[in-house]
Amino acid sequence: MPPPDRSRQLNLQQRSTLAGEAAAAAAEVETALVTPSDSTSAAFFDVDNTVMQGASIFHLARGLHRRDFFTTRDILGAAWKQAYFRVVGVEDPEHVAQARNSALSFIAGHTVAELEELGEEIFDEAMAHRIWPGTRALAQLHLDQGQRVWLVTAAPIEIATIIARRLGLTGAMGTVSEHVDGVYTGLLVGDMLHGPAKAEAIKALAAREGLDLAACSAYSDSFNDLPMLSLVGDPVAINPDARLRVHARAQGWRVRDYRTGRKAARAGLVVGAVTGAVSGSVAAAVALRRRR
């Protein structure tokens, strides 16, 4: 096997850093409105299967499709690029770029105001009843202690902000899509806020807000979020996949599971099947194709 391409690894690190910095900057409006009594501690929550059952971008995509925001062909095209990248595109820089940007390419040409307005409606009809009460209670506990609470998710920053606001949280950091004069270009700023990019976002926010990461908490269901979980002093596994459950127990981390026994067992068997916003777009494509 040939050695890994150092320049490509560096490029990935740069994109993750840019994505994290963009997500932290987008959270500035929300944080500016909050004056915490505990200014050095905070909590960071993943969204999909941690705060909310299922993938938020799946619910968003399905709701947008019902409102003719995009066609079935659009999302199937995005899903195909993702699948091609996973199977044969790893060594092709052109396909890497296509796969990276196709996750949210179907919003190109639409306005930020459109997505935000429809996102409010879709939250009410498809997301609000899927919030895990246990995780919501944990977030409220941090708020009651005077700490700020941010969502950190691969979902678009627009929908992440809506979820945070509806739950009464401080703010959100999510994938930032490029837009010019309020119209989406179909490209991402840096990369998706996934894996290492989440850790970069938290570090950027912590530096700006004067947070002591050793006094902060982070919550996630996914082994892919180890960079974020390992960054704080109090990592917690919520509804964990099999790999995260094993790792959390080995490290002595707290584990909370709000699923029924059957759902938890099934989740362990299909770990990795739907991960973050990329997999959410594939799941949405499959569901829409079945409907047709």
Sign of the torsion formed by the C-alpha atoms of 111, 114, 116 and 119: negative
| 74 has catalytic annotation | no
User: Cα–Cα distance between 187 and 183 in angstroms, integer?
Assistant: 11
Coil/strand/helix, residue 251: helix
Closest Cα to residue 195, out of 170, 229, 161, 164?
229
Q: How many Cα atoms are found within 13 Å in the side-chain-facing hemisphere of 195?
A: 9
Write out the E strands in the chain: 42-45, 148-156, 171-175, 177-180, 183-188, 217-220, 234-238, 254-256
Given the residues 38, 46, 92, 181, select the one marked as catalytic.
Answer: 46
| 212 has catalytic annotation | no
Residues 6+ apart with CB under 8 A from 73: none
Sign of the torsion formed by the C-alpha atoms of 22, 141, 127 and 113: negative
Given the residues 5, 38, 48, 212, select the one marked as catalytic.
Answer: 48
Coil/strand/helix, residue 199: helix
Pairing assessment for the beta strands 254-256 and 234-238 based on DSSP bridges: parallel
Catalytic residue positions? 46, 48
